[in-house]
Amino acid sequence: MTTKIFVNLPVQDLDRSVAFYTQLGYSFNAKFTDENATCMIVSDDIYVMLLVKPFFQTFVSKPIGDAHQNVLAILSINAEDRAGVDALVEKAIAAGAKSPEAKDYGFMYQRGYEDPDGHQWEVFYMDPDADPSAVQG
């Protein structure tokens, strides 16, 4: 059984979000795109549904949190190497994202960015041959 993941994110301005993620190199499935939503293709098995807030609200009974004020989730994706981490985060910064300092744990290198709606993304590379238990905290 192949499992696919669909992450649903509320966005204020769909066009702004599409422009931002297009600059990062993502594409979108036109079959699942209208004025309320779009389907961003992250990989063959990972998709991010960007839904304008009023439409997103129709799927939930709780109020939508403000990702600019609170961390709602950390969306983590891997890169093939450290250079891939840097390349994606630098694209995000060039597209207007905020980014904290990189973190290097020896076995894992990570950088993050905050998208225009405040959602926190983490891009990481983990050395498959490293032993994380050997890292001193």
Please write the tens of the pLDDT for every residue from 71-124: 999 999 999 999 999 999 999 999 999 999 999 998 999 999 999 999 999 999
Neighbours of 73 (CB within 10 A): 12
* CATH number of the domain within which 71 lies: 3.10.180.10
Per-residue pLDDT tens over the stretch 40-61: 999 999 999 999 999 999 999 9
Residue 137 lies in a domain: no
Q: Do the domain assignments include residue 45? A: yes
Query: Among 68, 19, 59, 25, which residue's Cα sits nearest to residue 43?
Result: 25
**CB–CB of 58/17 below 8 Å?**
no
Q: Is residue 58 part of a domain?
A: yes
Assigned domain for 64 exists: yes
Q: Please give the single-letter amino acid code of residue 51.
A: L
Burial 17-44 (b: 16+ CB within 10 A, else e): bbebbeebeeebeeeebeeebbbbeeee
